[in-house]
Amino acid sequence: MSWGWKIAILYGSFASLILFMVYMAMQQDVSLVAPDYYTQTLTFQNEMEQRELTNSTGKKPLIEPLREAEMVTVTFPMDDAVTGKVWLYRPSDSSQDEHSTFSVAAGEPIVLPMKGKPFGLWRIKVTFNAGGQDYLTEQVLTY
């Protein structure tokens, strides 16, 4: 076999490999964690300030996964009523993301049911208002 045929076989093999890799890349799901990801980046500085306020004032809520009860509780260390929003993000599958609003009295926890949700990595984000001040906290859970 001459060297011309060897080069043609090598080039054909390389082109086939590239086409296979393009096909495999097109089959991958590349969805973002949140559909409004770019909008969220515009409010990032405000969120950083709220996180810093939450951590510096000691008003960070206690987030506890309770596997045997199939729920997650969020308890606020506030003396006032608390209102806000909770987001549950599933980094591996954005179709399982959930968000809800809440309003609880002082000392009352939020209960997030996890029954039927798959075990694994979850990210919980809580924005809340107490005493006229906005706070934000985020935590990674392995539930």
pLDDT at 134 (0 to 100):
92
Q: Which of 135, 133, 136 is nearest to 124 (CA)?
A: 136
What pLDDT, on a 0 to 100 scale, did the predictor assign at position 107? 85
Give, for 29, the enclosing helix (H) or strand (E). none
Q: What are the average pLDDT values for consecutive 10-residue runs of the chain, which has 143 residues?
A: 92 97 87 71 88 90 89 90 92 85 91 89 93 91 82
- ∠ CA 61-130-85, nearest 5°, is 65
Where in the chain are the domains? 1-30, 37-142
Contact 63, 74 (CB under 8 A): yes
Q: Does domain 37-142 match CATH 1.10.10.10?
A: no
